[in-house]
Structure 1
């Protein structure tokens, strides 16, 4: 948790610099200027007994510390179009008991911990008078055994009365997966760290429509189409057959996903909002899932609100899953990854948001702090906890 407070100190110093910039340039400047800064830090821990690295058995103990730093700049060009640049940098560091078992004979290996860097940037041009906008974005994610590069394009158009908005988005991710196989499956059991890479590409299209029904109700319809191609297994996941032999997870090299969603927000008076969400998901590997979520932000006073939430999830198993030592030599594809098994889960918790009128620590523009806690539990002996802190300067 030490990282959270160090990051908060950094944001404090940055807020001073940004405030000075605003004082010198003025709020009416047409050039890009800092509009908002967010820092989100979180701590995640989990435990369970179905580790895919060891064939569906063994410890799933894992901890992750994440910090995401986000800066949004806004300006206007000569044609009065609004330009927004959203730049984000994320850094995660995790330790994993299961990943440490890539080499079963080692007390501790290099794979027990890793750090992931994931920067991104999105440029948006909005014509507020005509009610349409266009954006383009780039992203990257880097860790020891995985490298991803992404790009996206998005277009939005409001209805004439501005009560509805249609959005279309296209995304592509071009990934490289290092073939870090279990040590006993390498030639001669070697521990060489120069691993070949395999391609994994993802192409996605999204459509959404948001409509204000009346002063109290707003709804949104969401649909995605996702196509994945390439190496879709994880190379260090073991699968034990019923004859005791060990194999590397093997899954098809293509996957088609279709998520469909519905979101509705209802304002109960001035102090309570009911935020509901439902999603149906299906793919050609055999998974069918349902997600239902409810969050109820309650404004306790003008500056403080609490948001309890609950999410229920259930899914069927992929066609290629079987537990430890249940696969046979006749299986063309096989996995013992319990994330692809049949299960249901619950995620519940609450958030607390404070927007003091004089700002945090006496800084008027350092205007929001939010703390959220959630507990996640599957019915297959796995559970986790996450706590996050969001600081905003505006």
Structure 2
């Protein structure tokens, strides 16, 4: 179509329609002014809340100016894609200490390629209609403040746990962006509806949400099990429980997630039995099995060493089992120094539980013997005693 005759209001509606055709649950448009968000981000960095994620501190100015990331950008098209798998069994898995808990977004295939391909297809549809379009797709792959952009685009609001929440879809979704050079109408920003609720702050196992809308990543289980490539601080290990990749607690407790939408994408459904696997089953994998089984999974990027580290911690947190101790000892001789340190900790935890069980058994035996003695004495006493 002739660019001079384009009705951008009409084009915006077409883009929303095309987005739905491509599997995006929602599409919105924002300008590129992020000044109201950037100061908060800079303060977050100054507080060292990003931990070892040095990439968060890189390209700081670019994060606040998408047009520096892709020259000519004047609008950002933000999209949402739901990922909640069927039969997620959240609470049930968390309660089964011998089972592995994997964050729900990571049960299926890696979302990056799928969403990027769909965003590129959306860009081409727009370009066919508006020839002057220049676009660039991003899916968690560039220095972009994607949640603020999505909030400005009307896809929801940033909650107290710093994740985006949608009134009609909760927070179980991925975000993606198209940076474009055309003057699309800006979507209406949604009102923050967290109100006085602090459920996410209270439920966090490690108290990583240090204040409303502020997360200290160094305390966050998702950071500790995914981003951290070093030793997990001892103080956090017991709090990790059986979570071996990520944590969903702040989303599980959020009342808005009663409106969450199940994913329509087969790629996001659980694969390789990750939603039902036991810790011992996964700990038995060697590196070749890890790499081949998790081909196409986002989990693969943490590497085999961190995978073993995380499972060792979870095994230490599981109920006492001689099989667990045997498995930990069997892996130790082949483990790296970092993994071996976590295995030693796990064995110590298991042995402590074993001792507690032994003491408890002895105490119970003593109580039974004492009760029997009392009954024997009572039987031998005169009736009028």
Q: What TM-score results when the alignment is normalised by the length of structure 1?
A: 0.21
Greater gyration radius: 2
Which has the larger strand fraction? 1
Higher helix share: 2
Query: When the two structures are superposed, what TM-score results if normalisation uses the length of structure 2?
Result: 0.22
Higher relative contact order (CA 8 A, sep 6+): 2
